[in-house]
Amino acid sequence: MANTYGALKRVRQTERRTQFNRFAKTRLRHQIRAMRHTLAAKAPSAADVKTVMAATFSLVDKAARKGYIKPGTAARYKSRLHGRVKVILGEVQK
C-alpha cells in the first residue's frame, strides 16, 4: 500500500491510464480483426476494402503515436495488411 499522498495519487492515475490503455488496445485489435474479416469475405468490394483499410491504418498509426504499440509493430501490421489488400484487389500476384 502507498504510504504518501503523492503515492496514492500515482496509484489512482495508473489505474485510470491502465483502463484507458486497455480500451484503446482492445479497440485496435477489434479493428484489425474487422479488416481481416473483410478481406476473408467471398467477394469484398474495392470500396469496402479501402474504407476499412483507411480506418484500420488510422487506428494503427494513432496507437503507435500514443505509445500503445511500438512503431515497428505498427509498420508490420500495416505492411502485412496492405499486402493482403493488394492481392485481393488484384494489384499483385500471390
**Can you give the pTM of this predicted structure?**
0.83
pLDDT tens-place string over residues 15-64 = 999 999 999 999 999 999 999 999 998 888 889 999 999 999 999 999 99
Q: Where are the alpha helices (DSSP H) in 1-94?
A: 5-40, 46-66, 71-89
- pLDDT of residue 8 exceeding 90, the answer is yes
Q: pLDDT category, 67, cuts 50, 70, 90?
A: very high
Note whether 58 and 27 are within 8 A (CB).
Answer: no
C-alpha distances (whole Å) from 80 to each of 38, 51, 67, 74 are 15, 17, 20, 10
